[in-house]
Amino acid sequence: MRAVTKAFVLAGGIGSRLRPFTLEIPKPLLPVKGRPVLEYNLENLKVHGVKEVVLGVGYKAEKVKEYFGSGKKLGIKINYSLEEEPLGTAGALKQAEKFFDSTFFMCNGDEVKDINYSLMLGVHRKNNAAGTLALVEAEDASEFGKVETEGDRILSFKEKEGVKEHGIVSAGAYVLEKDVFKMIPKGEKSSIEKEVFPALAERKKLFGCKMATQFFPADNPERYEKAIMEWKGISGGEKA
């Protein structure tokens, strides 16, 4: 199986729900067990063969650059793609298009998670997918939006409804083909979760890889505290 050596990581969020923590520190640099959340994501990618990462930065970008630099201390190459204005998750990816010419990984850099990207890539290639998402079970899927599946194939996404129910949700990690760039308007704000993925699902080109693994969104004080208390470090991820 051909290796994937490049990844795009979203690291430009404001983290408004985590204020006052994020008034001085960008959300991806918030510490868990003494290390920034983003560093765990980069380590996770490296474990699965990634050698070059593009960080999509925006809010307090200079602090992210100051900490990670060229990536030398982590043993990977880091490039930066700066959003002058927020472009959304798909818009930020589109801006970094020049760095990618084949299959790549993508993830949210402000979540604490342990993903088996190698397992995902196997599912991706088996199904000749355009996109493959890491999926995890959640006690309350209503907080994230429920993913409806049939086998590996993702059928649809159920919006956050506020009604508590168990279900499968996206863990914010993906395998993508470079053709997805054609679906994203240049220089416009757009969402990969709300626009690109539903369109791929309609075309029957979007698949999921279910995992039993650590996943801490850490997007509010309660979840951030949970991540600090329960995070066990990178293992490479497990299969559900």
Annotated domain spans of the chain: 6-230
Q: Please provide residue 47's backbone torsions phi and psi, each rounded to the nearest 5 degrees.
A: -55, -30
The whole-number average pLDDT for the span 114-129 is 96
Q: Answer yes or no: is pLDDT of 65 > 60.
A: yes
pLDDT recorded at residue 137: 86
Distance, CA of 181 to CA of 96 (rounded, Å): 10
Q: Answer yes or no: is pLDDT of 172 > 70.
A: yes
Prediction pTM value = 0.93
Residue 113 is a catalytic residue: no
Q: Give a three-class secondary structure readout of 88-117.
A: HHHHHHHHCHHHCCCCEEEEECCCEECCCH
Going by pLDDT thresholds of 50, 70 and 90, the confidence category of residue 161 is low
pLDDT recorded at residue 19: 73
pLDDT digit string (tens) for 192-230? 999 999 999 999 999 999 997 899 888 788 888 888 999
The whole-number average pLDDT for the span 118-132 is 97
Residue in 73, 126, 160, 164 annotated catalytic = 160
Q: For 6-230, which CATH superfamily applies?
A: Spore Coat Polysaccharide Biosynthesis Protein SpsA; Chain A (3.90.550.10)
Smallest Cα–Cα separation from 192: which of 104, 121, 125?
104
pLDDT recorded at residue 239: 41
Distance, CA of 86 to CA of 209 (rounded, Å): 29
Q: Which position has the higher pLDDT, 104 or 139?
A: 104
- Residues present in the chain in total: 240
